[in-house]
A and B are shown apart, each in its own frame.
Chain A
Amino acid sequence: MQLKKKKEKLLEWLFLFFAFLSNILLVGIIIILFKESLPLFKEIKVLDFLLGRHWYPTYDPAEFGILPLILGSLWVTIGSLLVAVPLGLGAAIYISEIASTSLKEILKPVVEVLAGIPSVVLGFFGMVVIAPFLQEVFKLPTGLNALNGSILLGIMAIPTITSISEDCLSSVPRGFKEASYALGANRWETMIKVTVPAAFSGISSAVILGMGRAIGETMTVLMVAGGSAVIPHSFLQPVRTMTATIAAEMGETAIGSEHYYALFGIAVVLFILTLIFNIIADLVAQRFRKRIV
Protein backbone atom coordinates (compact mmCIF):
# COMPACT_ATOMS: atom_id res chain seq x y z
CA MET A 1 0.00 0.00 0.00
CA GLN A 2 2.75 2.38 1.09
CA LEU A 3 4.74 1.47 -1.98
CA LYS A 4 1.84 2.18 -4.26
CA LYS A 5 1.42 5.62 -2.78
CA LYS A 6 5.08 6.37 -3.25
CA LYS A 7 4.85 5.24 -6.81
CA GLU A 8 1.90 7.51 -7.40
CA LYS A 9 3.72 10.45 -5.89
CA LEU A 10 6.71 9.72 -8.08
CA LEU A 11 4.57 9.60 -11.18
CA GLU A 12 2.94 12.84 -10.20
CA TRP A 13 6.33 14.54 -10.02
CA LEU A 14 7.34 12.99 -13.29
CA PHE A 15 4.30 14.33 -15.08
CA LEU A 16 4.71 17.71 -13.43
CA PHE A 17 8.19 17.75 -14.92
CA PHE A 18 6.83 16.88 -18.36
CA ALA A 19 4.20 19.57 -18.10
CA PHE A 20 6.77 22.19 -17.26
CA LEU A 21 9.34 20.92 -19.73
CA SER A 22 7.52 22.35 -22.73
CA ASN A 23 7.07 25.65 -20.92
CA ILE A 24 10.75 25.79 -20.06
CA LEU A 25 11.66 25.01 -23.65
CA LEU A 26 9.34 27.73 -24.94
CA VAL A 27 10.77 30.31 -22.57
CA GLY A 28 14.29 29.22 -23.54
CA ILE A 29 13.54 29.60 -27.22
CA ILE A 30 12.04 33.06 -26.73
CA ILE A 31 15.03 34.21 -24.69
CA ILE A 32 17.49 32.97 -27.30
CA LEU A 33 15.55 34.52 -30.18
CA PHE A 34 15.53 37.92 -28.56
CA LYS A 35 19.07 37.70 -27.23
CA GLU A 36 20.52 36.74 -30.61
CA SER A 37 18.67 39.45 -32.47
CA LEU A 38 19.45 42.32 -30.10
CA PRO A 39 22.99 43.10 -31.34
CA LEU A 40 21.53 44.01 -34.75
CA PHE A 41 19.44 46.80 -33.31
CA LYS A 42 22.52 48.51 -31.96
CA GLU A 43 23.47 49.06 -35.60
CA ILE A 44 20.07 49.51 -37.22
CA LYS A 45 16.85 51.18 -36.13
CA VAL A 46 13.96 48.78 -35.57
CA LEU A 47 11.80 50.74 -38.00
CA ASP A 48 14.46 50.63 -40.71
CA PHE A 49 14.56 46.87 -40.23
CA LEU A 50 10.79 46.38 -40.36
CA LEU A 51 10.01 48.91 -43.10
CA GLY A 52 13.21 48.80 -45.19
CA ARG A 53 12.59 47.73 -48.76
CA HIS A 54 15.96 46.20 -49.58
CA TRP A 55 17.36 42.91 -48.32
CA TYR A 56 21.07 42.80 -49.20
CA PRO A 57 22.64 41.40 -46.04
CA THR A 58 26.04 40.37 -47.39
CA TYR A 59 26.76 43.37 -49.56
CA ASP A 60 28.85 46.38 -48.73
CA PRO A 61 27.13 48.48 -47.51
CA ALA A 62 24.65 45.89 -46.25
CA GLU A 63 20.93 46.59 -46.10
CA PHE A 64 18.55 44.77 -43.79
CA GLY A 65 15.05 45.78 -44.84
CA ILE A 66 12.57 42.95 -44.27
CA LEU A 67 9.36 44.60 -45.47
CA PRO A 68 9.40 42.55 -48.71
CA LEU A 69 9.82 39.38 -46.64
CA ILE A 70 6.99 40.19 -44.22
CA LEU A 71 4.67 41.08 -47.10
CA GLY A 72 5.83 37.99 -49.01
CA SER A 73 4.85 35.79 -46.07
CA LEU A 74 1.47 37.47 -45.66
CA TRP A 75 0.90 37.38 -49.41
CA VAL A 76 1.30 33.63 -49.82
CA THR A 77 -0.61 33.06 -46.57
CA ILE A 78 -3.60 35.03 -47.83
CA GLY A 79 -3.32 33.22 -51.15
CA SER A 80 -3.27 29.87 -49.39
CA LEU A 81 -6.43 30.77 -47.47
CA LEU A 82 -8.18 31.68 -50.73
CA VAL A 83 -7.41 28.12 -51.82
CA ALA A 84 -7.86 26.29 -48.53
CA VAL A 85 -10.95 27.89 -46.97
CA PRO A 86 -13.49 27.18 -49.73
CA LEU A 87 -12.11 23.71 -50.38
CA GLY A 88 -11.49 22.77 -46.76
CA LEU A 89 -14.76 24.14 -45.44
CA GLY A 90 -16.75 22.71 -48.34
CA ALA A 91 -15.25 19.31 -47.65
CA ALA A 92 -16.03 19.63 -43.94
CA ILE A 93 -19.67 20.53 -44.61
CA TYR A 94 -20.05 17.66 -47.04
CA ILE A 95 -18.46 15.13 -44.71
CA SER A 96 -20.38 16.26 -41.65
CA GLU A 97 -23.81 17.09 -43.09
CA ILE A 98 -24.33 15.28 -46.37
CA ALA A 99 -22.12 12.21 -46.74
CA SER A 100 -23.46 8.81 -45.71
CA THR A 101 -21.80 7.17 -42.73
CA SER A 102 -19.82 4.73 -44.86
CA LEU A 103 -18.58 7.48 -47.18
CA LYS A 104 -17.68 9.60 -44.17
CA GLU A 105 -15.53 6.80 -42.82
CA ILE A 106 -13.49 6.82 -45.99
CA LEU A 107 -13.35 10.57 -46.64
CA LYS A 108 -12.20 11.85 -43.29
CA PRO A 109 -9.13 9.62 -42.89
CA VAL A 110 -8.13 10.31 -46.50
CA VAL A 111 -8.19 14.06 -45.90
CA GLU A 112 -6.10 13.53 -42.80
CA VAL A 113 -3.56 11.48 -44.73
CA LEU A 114 -2.97 14.61 -46.81
CA ALA A 115 -1.60 16.23 -43.66
CA GLY A 116 1.08 13.55 -43.47
CA ILE A 117 2.72 14.32 -46.80
CA PRO A 118 6.16 15.77 -46.09
CA SER A 119 6.42 19.39 -47.23
CA VAL A 120 9.54 18.70 -49.28
CA VAL A 121 7.58 16.19 -51.36
CA LEU A 122 4.89 18.78 -52.03
CA GLY A 123 7.62 21.28 -52.87
CA PHE A 124 9.10 18.91 -55.39
CA PHE A 125 5.67 18.35 -56.89
CA GLY A 126 5.24 22.12 -57.17
CA MET A 127 8.59 22.51 -58.84
CA VAL A 128 8.27 19.85 -61.52
CA VAL A 129 4.48 19.73 -62.09
CA ILE A 130 2.76 22.97 -61.06
CA ALA A 131 5.52 25.42 -62.10
CA PRO A 132 5.69 24.37 -65.79
CA PHE A 133 1.88 24.20 -65.83
CA LEU A 134 1.45 27.77 -64.53
CA GLN A 135 4.16 29.04 -66.85
CA GLU A 136 2.33 27.54 -69.82
CA VAL A 137 -1.19 28.61 -68.83
CA PHE A 138 -0.42 32.21 -67.86
CA LYS A 139 2.48 32.65 -70.34
CA LEU A 140 4.79 33.70 -67.52
CA PRO A 141 8.56 34.06 -67.47
CA THR A 142 8.57 31.62 -64.53
CA GLY A 143 6.13 29.28 -62.79
CA LEU A 144 7.93 29.64 -59.46
CA ASN A 145 5.79 32.36 -57.96
CA ALA A 146 3.39 33.37 -55.22
CA LEU A 147 0.49 31.52 -56.87
CA ASN A 148 2.43 28.26 -56.90
CA GLY A 149 3.33 28.73 -53.23
CA SER A 150 -0.27 29.62 -52.36
CA ILE A 151 -1.67 26.52 -54.04
CA LEU A 152 0.73 24.22 -52.21
CA LEU A 153 0.31 25.95 -48.85
CA GLY A 154 -3.43 25.78 -49.43
CA ILE A 155 -3.20 22.04 -49.98
CA MET A 156 -1.24 21.79 -46.73
CA ALA A 157 -3.78 23.84 -44.77
CA ILE A 158 -6.81 21.91 -46.05
CA PRO A 159 -6.49 18.94 -43.63
CA THR A 160 -6.28 21.27 -40.61
CA ILE A 161 -9.30 23.28 -41.72
CA THR A 162 -11.40 20.29 -42.79
CA SER A 163 -10.65 18.15 -39.81
CA ILE A 164 -11.30 20.76 -37.10
CA SER A 165 -14.32 22.28 -38.88
CA GLU A 166 -15.85 18.86 -39.35
CA ASP A 167 -15.48 18.09 -35.65
CA CYS A 168 -17.20 21.36 -34.77
CA LEU A 169 -20.02 20.89 -37.27
CA SER A 170 -20.67 17.37 -35.99
CA SER A 171 -20.83 18.55 -32.41
CA VAL A 172 -23.58 21.09 -33.07
CA PRO A 173 -26.44 19.80 -30.87
CA ARG A 174 -29.07 17.79 -32.74
CA GLY A 175 -31.78 19.92 -31.14
CA PHE A 176 -30.66 23.01 -33.09
CA LYS A 177 -31.25 21.28 -36.40
CA GLU A 178 -34.49 19.68 -35.30
CA ALA A 179 -35.82 23.02 -34.15
CA SER A 180 -34.91 24.51 -37.51
CA TYR A 181 -36.66 21.73 -39.41
CA ALA A 182 -39.68 22.10 -37.14
CA LEU A 183 -39.91 25.76 -38.13
CA GLY A 184 -40.15 24.69 -41.75
CA ALA A 185 -36.55 25.33 -42.89
CA ASN A 186 -35.22 22.98 -45.52
CA ARG A 187 -31.90 21.17 -45.40
CA TRP A 188 -29.89 23.93 -47.15
CA GLU A 189 -31.34 26.69 -44.97
CA THR A 190 -30.67 24.70 -41.84
CA MET A 191 -27.08 24.08 -42.89
CA ILE A 192 -26.28 27.70 -43.81
CA LYS A 193 -28.35 29.53 -41.20
CA VAL A 194 -28.13 27.19 -38.21
CA THR A 195 -25.40 24.57 -38.29
CA VAL A 196 -22.55 26.61 -39.78
CA PRO A 197 -23.19 29.72 -37.58
CA ALA A 198 -23.41 27.49 -34.51
CA ALA A 199 -20.04 26.00 -35.33
CA PHE A 200 -18.56 29.35 -36.35
CA SER A 201 -16.17 29.69 -33.42
CA GLY A 202 -14.62 26.34 -34.21
CA ILE A 203 -14.49 27.06 -37.91
CA SER A 204 -12.75 30.37 -37.43
CA SER A 205 -10.19 28.80 -35.10
CA ALA A 206 -9.68 26.14 -37.75
CA VAL A 207 -9.03 28.80 -40.38
CA ILE A 208 -6.63 30.71 -38.17
CA LEU A 209 -4.78 27.53 -37.24
CA GLY A 210 -4.55 26.73 -40.95
CA MET A 211 -3.16 30.22 -41.43
CA GLY A 212 -0.57 29.60 -38.73
CA ARG A 213 0.43 26.43 -40.54
CA ALA A 214 0.81 28.32 -43.80
CA ILE A 215 2.80 31.26 -42.48
CA GLY A 216 5.24 29.01 -40.63
CA GLU A 217 5.75 26.58 -43.50
CA THR A 218 9.27 26.72 -44.87
CA MET A 219 10.44 24.05 -47.25
CA THR A 220 7.63 24.29 -49.79
CA VAL A 221 7.81 28.05 -50.18
CA LEU A 222 11.58 27.93 -50.30
CA MET A 223 11.31 25.57 -53.25
CA VAL A 224 8.41 26.99 -55.22
CA ALA A 225 7.74 30.64 -54.36
CA GLY A 226 10.70 31.86 -56.39
CA GLY A 227 12.56 33.68 -53.66
CA SER A 228 12.78 37.23 -55.00
CA ALA A 229 12.89 39.67 -52.12
CA VAL A 230 10.57 42.22 -53.75
CA ILE A 231 7.37 43.80 -52.48
CA PRO A 232 4.59 41.67 -53.96
CA HIS A 233 1.99 43.27 -56.21
CA SER A 234 0.68 40.23 -58.06
CA PHE A 235 0.25 36.52 -57.45
CA LEU A 236 2.08 35.77 -60.68
CA GLN A 237 5.45 37.08 -59.55
CA PRO A 238 8.13 35.39 -57.43
CA VAL A 239 8.11 36.32 -53.75
CA ARG A 240 10.20 35.42 -50.73
CA THR A 241 8.90 34.60 -47.27
CA MET A 242 10.54 35.14 -43.90
CA THR A 243 10.82 31.39 -43.29
CA ALA A 244 12.50 30.73 -46.63
CA THR A 245 15.03 33.49 -45.97
CA ILE A 246 16.01 32.03 -42.62
CA ALA A 247 16.23 28.49 -44.00
CA ALA A 248 18.25 29.41 -47.07
CA GLU A 249 20.68 31.77 -45.44
CA MET A 250 21.19 30.53 -41.88
CA GLY A 251 23.46 27.68 -42.97
CA GLU A 252 25.74 29.97 -44.89
CA THR A 253 26.11 32.82 -42.48
CA ALA A 254 28.95 33.30 -40.05
CA ILE A 255 27.85 33.15 -36.41
CA GLY A 256 28.10 36.58 -34.84
CA SER A 257 27.83 38.54 -38.08
CA GLU A 258 25.17 41.20 -38.61
CA HIS A 259 23.55 38.93 -41.16
CA TYR A 260 23.24 36.22 -38.49
CA TYR A 261 21.61 38.60 -36.01
CA ALA A 262 19.29 39.86 -38.75
CA LEU A 263 18.06 36.30 -39.41
CA PHE A 264 17.23 35.98 -35.72
CA GLY A 265 15.49 39.33 -36.00
CA ILE A 266 13.30 37.86 -38.74
CA ALA A 267 12.58 34.88 -36.51
CA VAL A 268 11.40 37.23 -33.75
CA VAL A 269 9.05 39.01 -36.17
CA LEU A 270 7.71 35.66 -37.37
CA PHE A 271 7.25 34.50 -33.79
CA ILE A 272 5.32 37.64 -32.85
CA LEU A 273 3.11 37.35 -35.94
CA THR A 274 2.17 33.72 -35.23
CA LEU A 275 1.59 34.60 -31.59
CA ILE A 276 -0.84 37.31 -32.68
CA PHE A 277 -2.65 34.83 -34.92
CA ASN A 278 -3.01 32.36 -32.08
CA ILE A 279 -4.32 35.00 -29.68
CA ILE A 280 -6.85 36.16 -32.28
CA ALA A 281 -7.93 32.55 -32.85
CA ASP A 282 -8.50 32.15 -29.14
CA LEU A 283 -10.43 35.41 -28.76
CA VAL A 284 -12.64 34.66 -31.76
CA ALA A 285 -13.39 31.18 -30.48
CA GLN A 286 -14.32 32.49 -27.03
CA ARG A 287 -16.44 35.32 -28.30
CA PHE A 288 -18.62 33.20 -30.54
CA ARG A 289 -18.94 30.46 -27.97
CA LYS A 290 -20.43 33.00 -25.58
CA ARG A 291 -22.85 34.24 -28.19
CA ILE A 292 -24.16 30.77 -28.97
CA VAL A 293 -24.56 29.76 -25.32
Chain B
Amino acid sequence: MQKSKLVFFLCLLTVIGCARDKAGTGITVAGSTSVQPFADKWAEVYMDEHPDQVVNIQGGGSSAGIQAAKSGACNIGTSSRELKPDEKDLTEIVVARDGLAIIVHTSNRIDNLTIEQVKGIFTGKIRNWREIGGNDKLITVVTREEGSGTRGAFQELVMKKDRVAKSAIVQDSNGTVREIVAGDPNAIGYISLGLVNNKVRALKLNGVPATDENIISKKYKLVRPFLFVTKGEPTPVCREFIDFVQSAEGQKLVSEEGLIPVK
Protein backbone atom coordinates (compact mmCIF):
# COMPACT_ATOMS: atom_id res chain seq x y z
CA MET B 1 0.00 0.00 0.00
CA GLN B 2 2.71 2.46 1.04
CA LYS B 3 4.90 1.38 -1.83
CA SER B 4 2.17 1.88 -4.40
CA LYS B 5 1.61 5.38 -3.07
CA LEU B 6 5.28 6.16 -3.46
CA VAL B 7 5.33 4.81 -7.01
CA PHE B 8 2.28 6.90 -7.83
CA PHE B 9 3.92 9.98 -6.40
CA LEU B 10 7.08 9.41 -8.40
CA CYS B 11 5.04 8.98 -11.58
CA LEU B 12 3.26 12.23 -10.84
CA LEU B 13 6.56 14.02 -10.41
CA THR B 14 7.82 12.66 -13.71
CA VAL B 15 4.67 13.80 -15.48
CA ILE B 16 4.93 17.27 -13.98
CA GLY B 17 8.61 17.39 -14.86
CA CYS B 18 7.92 16.48 -18.49
CA ALA B 19 5.10 18.97 -18.78
CA ARG B 20 7.39 21.73 -17.54
CA ASP B 21 10.06 20.65 -19.94
CA LYS B 22 7.78 21.08 -22.88
CA ALA B 23 6.73 24.57 -21.83
CA GLY B 24 10.38 25.51 -21.53
CA THR B 25 11.26 25.01 -25.21
CA GLY B 26 9.75 28.27 -26.46
CA ILE B 27 10.88 31.86 -26.33
CA THR B 28 11.21 33.58 -22.98
CA VAL B 29 10.55 37.29 -22.90
CA ALA B 30 11.37 38.94 -19.59
CA GLY B 31 11.74 42.43 -18.20
CA SER B 32 9.79 45.65 -17.84
CA THR B 33 6.52 45.41 -15.94
CA SER B 34 5.25 48.26 -18.13
CA VAL B 35 5.84 46.24 -21.30
CA GLN B 36 4.51 43.02 -19.79
CA PRO B 37 0.74 43.50 -20.34
CA PHE B 38 1.34 44.38 -24.00
CA ALA B 39 3.79 41.54 -24.49
CA ASP B 40 1.17 39.20 -23.04
CA LYS B 41 -1.25 40.38 -25.71
CA TRP B 42 1.28 39.86 -28.51
CA ALA B 43 2.16 36.42 -27.23
CA GLU B 44 -1.48 35.41 -26.98
CA VAL B 45 -2.27 36.36 -30.59
CA TYR B 46 1.05 35.02 -31.86
CA MET B 47 0.52 31.63 -30.24
CA ASP B 48 -3.00 31.44 -31.68
CA GLU B 49 -1.52 31.81 -35.14
CA HIS B 50 1.52 29.60 -34.49
CA PRO B 51 0.24 26.71 -32.37
CA ASP B 52 3.68 25.05 -32.43
CA GLN B 53 5.33 28.02 -30.71
CA VAL B 54 5.42 28.82 -27.04
CA VAL B 55 6.17 32.34 -25.82
CA ASN B 56 6.64 32.85 -22.09
CA ILE B 57 6.23 36.39 -20.83
CA GLN B 58 7.77 37.31 -17.50
CA GLY B 59 8.06 40.53 -15.50
CA GLY B 60 10.98 41.49 -13.30
CA GLY B 61 11.72 45.06 -14.35
CA SER B 62 13.66 46.78 -17.11
CA SER B 63 17.10 46.48 -15.56
CA ALA B 64 16.50 42.84 -14.69
CA GLY B 65 15.24 42.14 -18.23
CA ILE B 66 18.28 43.74 -19.83
CA GLN B 67 20.52 41.81 -17.47
CA ALA B 68 18.69 38.56 -18.29
CA ALA B 69 19.11 39.14 -22.03
CA LYS B 70 22.81 39.77 -21.47
CA SER B 71 23.31 36.62 -19.41
CA GLY B 72 21.14 34.47 -21.66
CA ALA B 73 18.57 33.75 -18.93
CA CYS B 74 15.90 34.89 -21.39
CA ASN B 75 15.82 35.14 -25.18
CA ILE B 76 14.40 38.64 -25.35
CA GLY B 77 14.67 41.27 -22.65
CA THR B 78 12.21 44.13 -22.53
CA SER B 79 12.85 47.65 -21.34
CA SER B 80 10.67 50.70 -20.87
CA ARG B 81 13.60 53.10 -20.82
CA GLU B 82 16.50 53.86 -23.14
CA LEU B 83 19.56 51.66 -22.70
CA LYS B 84 22.36 53.09 -20.59
CA PRO B 85 25.81 53.49 -22.21
CA ASP B 86 27.12 50.26 -20.63
CA GLU B 87 24.11 48.33 -21.93
CA LYS B 88 24.54 49.46 -25.53
CA ASP B 89 26.30 46.26 -26.58
CA LEU B 90 22.89 44.59 -26.87
CA THR B 91 20.78 44.67 -30.03
CA GLU B 92 17.81 46.93 -29.42
CA ILE B 93 14.52 46.97 -31.31
CA VAL B 94 11.90 49.64 -30.65
CA VAL B 95 8.53 47.86 -30.59
CA ALA B 96 6.27 50.69 -29.46
CA ARG B 97 6.30 54.11 -27.86
CA ASP B 98 4.53 55.06 -24.70
CA GLY B 99 3.58 58.42 -23.30
CA LEU B 100 4.24 59.15 -19.66
CA ALA B 101 1.19 60.77 -18.12
CA ILE B 102 1.35 63.08 -15.11
CA ILE B 103 -1.79 62.15 -13.20
CA VAL B 104 -3.81 63.84 -10.47
CA HIS B 105 -7.10 63.19 -8.66
CA THR B 106 -10.20 63.88 -10.76
CA SER B 107 -11.29 66.65 -8.37
CA ASN B 108 -8.03 68.60 -8.75
CA ARG B 109 -8.55 72.12 -10.14
CA ILE B 110 -5.20 72.17 -11.91
CA ASP B 111 -5.30 70.95 -15.47
CA ASN B 112 -2.08 72.21 -16.98
CA LEU B 113 1.51 72.33 -15.70
CA THR B 114 4.82 73.19 -17.27
CA ILE B 115 7.57 70.59 -17.19
CA GLU B 116 9.48 72.98 -14.89
CA GLN B 117 6.54 72.98 -12.45
CA VAL B 118 6.36 69.17 -12.49
CA LYS B 119 10.07 69.09 -11.77
CA GLY B 120 9.58 71.61 -8.95
CA ILE B 121 6.90 69.42 -7.39
CA PHE B 122 8.96 66.25 -7.58
CA THR B 123 12.14 67.86 -6.25
CA GLY B 124 10.13 69.21 -3.31
CA LYS B 125 10.56 72.91 -4.16
CA ILE B 126 6.82 73.30 -4.75
CA ARG B 127 5.01 71.80 -1.75
CA ASN B 128 1.54 73.30 -1.85
CA TRP B 129 -1.00 73.25 -4.67
CA ARG B 130 -1.67 76.94 -3.93
CA GLU B 131 1.76 77.89 -5.30
CA ILE B 132 0.68 76.77 -8.76
CA GLY B 133 -2.91 77.98 -8.64
CA GLY B 134 -4.65 75.11 -6.87
CA ASN B 135 -6.28 74.64 -3.47
CA ASP B 136 -4.38 75.39 -0.27
CA LYS B 137 -3.34 71.77 0.29
CA LEU B 138 0.03 70.05 0.66
CA ILE B 139 0.98 68.01 -2.39
CA THR B 140 1.32 64.24 -1.97
CA VAL B 141 4.06 63.23 -4.40
CA VAL B 142 3.95 59.60 -5.54
CA THR B 143 6.94 58.13 -7.33
CA ARG B 144 8.20 54.71 -8.43
CA GLU B 145 10.96 52.68 -6.81
CA GLU B 146 14.62 53.04 -7.71
CA GLY B 147 15.50 50.91 -10.73
CA SER B 148 12.02 51.09 -12.24
CA GLY B 149 12.01 51.76 -16.00
CA THR B 150 9.15 54.21 -15.63
CA ARG B 151 11.10 56.12 -12.99
CA GLY B 152 14.19 55.95 -15.20
CA ALA B 153 12.25 57.49 -18.08
CA PHE B 154 10.70 60.15 -15.83
CA GLN B 155 14.13 60.97 -14.46
CA GLU B 156 15.57 61.32 -17.93
CA LEU B 157 12.69 63.34 -19.39
CA VAL B 158 11.68 65.58 -16.50
CA MET B 159 14.11 65.56 -13.59
CA LYS B 160 17.33 65.42 -15.63
CA LYS B 161 20.11 65.71 -13.04
CA ASP B 162 17.91 66.53 -10.04
CA ARG B 163 16.70 64.02 -7.49
CA VAL B 164 13.15 63.12 -6.61
CA ALA B 165 12.52 64.35 -3.04
CA LYS B 166 13.11 61.77 -0.34
CA SER B 167 9.73 62.58 1.18
CA ALA B 168 7.89 61.27 -1.89
CA ILE B 169 5.76 58.19 -1.42
CA VAL B 170 7.21 55.21 -3.26
CA GLN B 171 5.06 52.56 -4.92
CA ASP B 172 6.32 49.66 -6.97
CA SER B 173 3.89 49.47 -9.89
CA ASN B 174 1.89 51.62 -12.29
CA GLY B 175 -1.28 50.15 -10.81
CA THR B 176 -0.61 51.10 -7.20
CA VAL B 177 0.51 54.61 -8.16
CA ARG B 178 -2.79 55.03 -10.01
CA GLU B 179 -4.73 53.57 -7.07
CA ILE B 180 -3.19 56.03 -4.60
CA VAL B 181 -3.70 59.04 -6.85
CA ALA B 182 -7.30 57.94 -7.46
CA GLY B 183 -7.91 57.86 -3.71
CA ASP B 184 -6.09 61.03 -2.67
CA PRO B 185 -7.33 64.50 -3.78
CA ASN B 186 -3.87 66.01 -3.13
CA ALA B 187 -1.74 63.45 -4.93
CA ILE B 188 0.31 63.64 -8.09
CA GLY B 189 2.07 60.76 -9.81
CA TYR B 190 3.26 59.51 -13.19
CA ILE B 191 2.22 56.35 -15.02
CA SER B 192 2.19 54.86 -18.48
CA LEU B 193 -0.31 56.76 -20.64
CA GLY B 194 -1.88 53.49 -21.77
CA LEU B 195 -2.90 52.74 -18.19
CA VAL B 196 -4.68 56.02 -17.43
CA ASN B 197 -8.35 55.33 -16.69
CA ASN B 198 -11.33 57.42 -15.63
CA LYS B 199 -10.40 57.26 -11.92
CA VAL B 200 -7.50 59.68 -12.47
CA ARG B 201 -6.86 62.63 -14.77
CA ALA B 202 -3.82 63.15 -16.99
CA LEU B 203 -2.54 66.74 -16.95
CA LYS B 204 -1.68 68.85 -19.97
CA LEU B 205 2.02 69.60 -20.17
CA ASN B 206 3.04 73.06 -21.40
CA GLY B 207 -0.56 73.31 -22.59
CA VAL B 208 -0.43 70.09 -24.64
CA PRO B 209 -2.90 67.33 -23.72
CA ALA B 210 -1.45 63.80 -23.42
CA THR B 211 -3.01 62.21 -26.50
CA ASP B 212 -1.77 59.82 -29.15
CA GLU B 213 -1.87 62.51 -31.86
CA ASN B 214 0.25 64.87 -29.80
CA ILE B 215 2.78 62.13 -29.15
CA ILE B 216 3.02 61.21 -32.83
CA SER B 217 3.41 64.86 -33.80
CA LYS B 218 6.03 65.19 -31.03
CA LYS B 219 4.18 68.03 -29.33
CA TYR B 220 3.83 66.06 -26.09
CA LYS B 221 7.32 65.64 -24.75
CA LEU B 222 7.13 62.81 -22.23
CA VAL B 223 7.58 59.81 -24.52
CA ARG B 224 9.69 56.74 -23.97
CA PRO B 225 10.41 53.73 -26.14
CA PHE B 226 9.43 50.17 -25.37
CA LEU B 227 12.42 48.08 -26.35
CA PHE B 228 13.12 44.45 -27.09
CA VAL B 229 16.76 43.68 -26.51
CA THR B 230 18.70 40.58 -27.51
CA LYS B 231 22.28 39.51 -27.12
CA GLY B 232 23.74 39.67 -30.61
CA GLU B 233 21.38 39.02 -33.50
CA PRO B 234 18.04 37.45 -32.53
CA THR B 235 17.76 33.71 -33.25
CA PRO B 236 15.42 32.74 -36.13
CA VAL B 237 12.66 31.73 -33.68
CA CYS B 238 12.91 35.06 -31.88
CA ARG B 239 13.18 36.92 -35.18
CA GLU B 240 9.83 35.48 -36.22
CA PHE B 241 8.16 36.76 -33.03
CA ILE B 242 9.81 40.18 -33.34
CA ASP B 243 8.72 40.40 -36.99
CA PHE B 244 5.18 39.65 -35.87
CA VAL B 245 5.34 42.38 -33.23
CA GLN B 246 6.59 44.88 -35.83
CA SER B 247 4.11 43.76 -38.50
CA ALA B 248 0.97 45.74 -39.25
CA GLU B 249 -1.01 43.26 -37.18
CA GLY B 250 1.28 43.46 -34.17
CA GLN B 251 1.33 47.23 -34.32
CA LYS B 252 -2.45 47.32 -34.57
CA LEU B 253 -2.57 45.54 -31.21
CA VAL B 254 -0.24 48.25 -29.90
CA SER B 255 -2.65 51.05 -30.70
CA GLU B 256 -5.66 49.03 -29.52
CA GLU B 257 -3.98 48.69 -26.14
CA GLY B 258 -3.29 52.40 -25.83
CA LEU B 259 0.33 52.62 -26.98
CA ILE B 260 1.80 54.48 -29.91
CA PRO B 261 2.86 52.30 -32.88
CA VAL B 262 6.39 52.75 -34.17
CA LYS B 263 5.43 52.68 -37.84
Contact = CB atoms under 8 A, between A and B. Distances in A.
Interface of A: 54-59, 68, 127-128, 131-132, 135, 141-144, 222-223, 226-230, 237-238, 240, 247-249, 251-257, 259
Contact of B145 (A142, A226, A248, A256): A248
Nearest to B162: A59
Contact of A228 (B67, B167, B183): B167
Interface bin, chain B: 20 to 34
Contacts of B145: 227, 248-249, 252
B147 A141 contact: no
A144 B137 contact: no
Contacts of B66: 254
Given A252-B60, A252-B147, 11 more contacts: A142-B180, A226-B169, A227-B170, A227-B171, A230-B167, A238-B169, A247-B172, A252-B63, A253-B63, A254-B63, A255-B67
Nearest to B73: A255
Given A223-B176, A230-B167, A253 B137 contact: no
B75 interface: no
B64 A253 contact: yes
Of listed A143, A226, A247, A257, residue having the most chain B CB within 10 A:
A226
Nearest to B61: A252
Nearest to A62: B146
Contacts of A57: 146-147
Of listed B139, B169, B170, B186, residue having the most chain A CB within 10 A:
B170
B5 interface: no
| A-B interface, 7 closest residue pairs, ranked by CB to CB distance from nearest | A252-B61, A227-B170, A252-B147, A248-B145, A141-B138, A248-B172, A254-B67
Contacts of A128: 183
Contacts of B172: 222, 247-248
B140 A142 contact: yes
6 contacts: A55-B146, A68-B166, A127-B180, A142-B184, A228-B170, A252-B60
B166 A59 contact: no
B59 interface: yes
B179 A127 contact: yes
A132 B66 CA distance: 38
B214 to A, nearest CB: 29
B109 interface: no
A35 to B, nearest CB: 18
A57 B219 CA distance: 33
A251 B138 contact: no
A59 B117 CA distance: 21
B61 to A, nearest CB: 3
B148 interface: yes
A258 to B, nearest CB: 12
B153 interface: no
Contacts of A247: 172
Given A141-B138, A240-B170, A252 B148 contact: yes
Contacts of B147: 57-58, 249, 251-253, 259
A127 B183 CA distance: 9
Given A228-B167, A251-B59, A141 B186 contact: yes
B179 to A, nearest CB: 7
A223 B169 CA distance: 10
Contacts of B60: 251-252
Interface in B157-181: 163, 166-172, 176, 179-180
B62 interface: yes
Contacts of A142: 140, 169, 180, 184, 186-187
A238 B183 contact: no
A247 B67 CA distance: 18
Contacts of B71: 255
B144 to A, nearest CB: 9
Interface string B60-80: 111110110001000000000
Contacts of A223: 176
Nearest to B176: A223
B35 to A, nearest CB: 13
Nearest to B171: A227
A59 B143 CA distance: 15
Nearest to A59: B163
A8 B139 CA distance: 69
Contacts of A237: 167
A135 B187 CA distance: 12
B30 to A, nearest CB: 11
